[in-house]
């Protein structure tokens, strides 16, 4: 017999918010049944309307707040409530850092059964605005003109914007200018429903230290209409532009970039620095979007690695070599592995760019390459993992347990998979010493963390 739900769609009810979801929605419970409500904050008493019910949880809309959180603030962005780009502008920055610390601690305790691990306060930014060095803006049409902005929450409806308060201002200016120029030349926006039109996305990348700008136009068709004139105007009107790129994505997909990339003007790359290390960034390079906090994150990883200069280090999921090159300054040797061939080419180029000779890079899956290295006797004193959101592959975790490096440093972008993987390492003979969350994405619920892990003495 099915359980009768304590609420029904279109009910108006009074609730108290207990927590935040990983998407920044307030969590209220009615007889244990969770309701997720955008814009609700923990501790607030409010009236909500139930807008959707599932078997195990439902969704609501905030109607009225009776008692506000002391951390509630007015959002700075005029389109914040429509746009899905941020989730926490209604929460003060102090409140955001406390919420992220709680998120990391709760997940480690609940999912990882790591009750006694020290979780430090989140390392935040002095100024938590205008930090993103890459804008990827979907393009649409409205009343015959081009619009560009982020999608409305849980939809593919584009909310047109003039500026984004978490983007570098140079990126905002560049996107607006490209949108205006393309519109003037009659370029049609891509219609994903009919799979017609041309311009899908405009991407702008900005070197925070160098001031260099790259513009990427992503089209459905192989040709960009009025290409030469559009490029000439972009170069003439955007200060600092060093590269104008055309990417072709003809597939029916939510993936932004296609397989064909052509440089229309200027260089294939722009340059930027994290600390003292210079990086070449191509249109398809993975490069951290908040370089100021990336430096904080990597310096913490370097501190946890505690290198003396004699160690052999393996960097799994090395990307374009960002952490590897930081480590190479203090280690004897660093070996990086990454599944994306273009990223490994970037890593090798970045090593050469900085005159770093003690870092080697290989293409492949970390869970396949590192076990092969281990079979051939290529062991590691310190192992760094910086996996995607899904966490480490189980085969890699088992290889770590076989290799028994004295130290593992885990750089995580997902507290849930971090907790799961730490539990596996703990059960295999490691101890999680401490975890340092770092706020790479202010105004959102995303939180990165670095974990210091050491082999127990009995192993």
Q: Which residues are catalytic?
A: 413
User: Given strand 430-438, what is the order of strands in its sheet?
Assistant: 118-119, 430-438, 448-455, 407-412, 382-385, 312-316, 333-338, 359-363
The pair of structure tokens assigned to 64 is: 């009225």
Nearest-CA neighbor of 85 among 161, 165, 13, 150?
150
Give 428-433 contacts, CB < 8 A, sequence gap 24+: 428/397, 428/400, 428/401, 429/401, 429/404, 429/455, 429/456, 429/458, 429/459, 430/401, 430/454, 430/455, 430/456, 430/459, 431/455, 431/456, 432/114, 432/117, 433/117, 433/118
Nearest-CA neighbor of 103 among 388, 394, 385, 413?
413
Rounded Cα distance between 421 and 410, Å, is 9
Instruction: Output the CA–CA distances (angstroms, integers) from residue 350 to 164, 206, 239, 296, 387, in the order listed.
Output: 30, 18, 25, 20, 20
| Backbone φ, ψ for residue 299 (5° rounding) | -65, -35
Rounded Cα distance between 343 and 345, Å, is 5
Rounded Cα distance between 35 and 374, Å, is 48
- With beta carbons less than 8 A apart as the criterion, state whether 264 and 246 touch: yes
Nearest-CA neighbor of 232 among 172, 181, 283, 169?
181
Sequence-distant (≥ 6) Cβ neighbours of residue 382 within 8 angstroms: 305, 307, 311, 312, 313, 314, 331, 405, 406, 407, 408, 409
Rounded Cα distance between 392 and 387, Å, is 6
Rounded Cα distance between 294 and 131, Å, is 11
Rounded Cα distance between 389 and 227, Å, is 37
Rounded Cα distance between 408 and 381, Å, is 9
Nearest-CA neighbor of 441 among 123, 81, 127, 128?
128
């Amino acid at each position: 017999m099915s359980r009768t739900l304590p609420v029904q769609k279109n009910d108006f009810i009074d609730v108290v918010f207990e927590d935040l979801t990983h998407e920044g929605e307030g969590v209220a419970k009615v007889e244990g049944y969770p309701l997720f409500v955008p814009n609700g904050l923990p501790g607030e008493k409010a009236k909500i309307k139930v807008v959707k019910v599932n078997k195990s949880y439902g969704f609501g809309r905030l109607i009225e707040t009776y008692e506000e959180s002391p951390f509630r603030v007015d959002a700075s962005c005029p389109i914040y409530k429509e746009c899905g780009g941020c989730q926490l502008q209604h929460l003060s920055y102090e409140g955001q850092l406390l919420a992220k610390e709680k998120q990391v601690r709760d997940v480690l305790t609940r999912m990882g059964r790591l009750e006694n691990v020290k979780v430090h306060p989140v390392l935040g930014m002095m100024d938590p605005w205008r930090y993103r060095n890459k804008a990827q803006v979907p393009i649409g049409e409205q009343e015959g003109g081009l619009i560009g902005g982020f999608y409305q929450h849980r939809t593919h409806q584009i909310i047109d914007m003039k500026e984004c308060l978490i983007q570098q201002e140079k990126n905002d200016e560049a996107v607006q200018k490209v949108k205006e120029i393309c519109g003037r030349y009659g370029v049609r926006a891509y219609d994903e429903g009919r799979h017609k039109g041309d311009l899908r996305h405009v991407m702008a990348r900005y070197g925070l230290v160098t001031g260099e700008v790259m513009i990427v136009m992503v089209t459905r068709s192989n040709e960009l209409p009025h290409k030469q004139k559009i490029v000439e105007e972009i170069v003439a009107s955007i200060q600092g532009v060093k590269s104008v790129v055309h990417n072709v994505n003809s597939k029916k997909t939510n993936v932004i970039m296609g397989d064909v990339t052509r440089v229309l003007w200027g260089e294939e790359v722009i340059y930027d620095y994290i600390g003292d290390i210079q990086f070449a960034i191509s249109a398809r390079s993975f490069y951290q979007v908040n370089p100021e906090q990336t430096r904080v994150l990597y310096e913490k990883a370097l501190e946890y690695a505690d290198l003396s200069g004699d160690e052999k280090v393996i960097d799994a999921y090395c990307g374009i070599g960002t952490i590897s090159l930081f480590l190479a300054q203090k280690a004897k040797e660093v070996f990086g592995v990454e599944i994306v061939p273009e990223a490994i080419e970037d890593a090798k180029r970045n090593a050469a760019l900085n005159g770093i000779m003690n870092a080697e890079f290989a293409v492949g899956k970390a869970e396949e390459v590192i076990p092969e290295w281990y079979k051939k006797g290529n062991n590691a004193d310190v192992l760094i993992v910086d996996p995607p959101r899904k966490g480490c592959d189980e085969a890699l975790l088992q290889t770590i347990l076989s290799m028994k490096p004295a130290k593992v440093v885990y750089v995580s972008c997902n507290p849930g998979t971090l907790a799961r993987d730490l539990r596996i390492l703990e059960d295999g003979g490691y101890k999680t010493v401490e975890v340092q969350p770092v706020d790479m994405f202010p105004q959102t619920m995303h939180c990165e963390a670095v974990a210091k892990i050491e082999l127990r003495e009995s192993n």
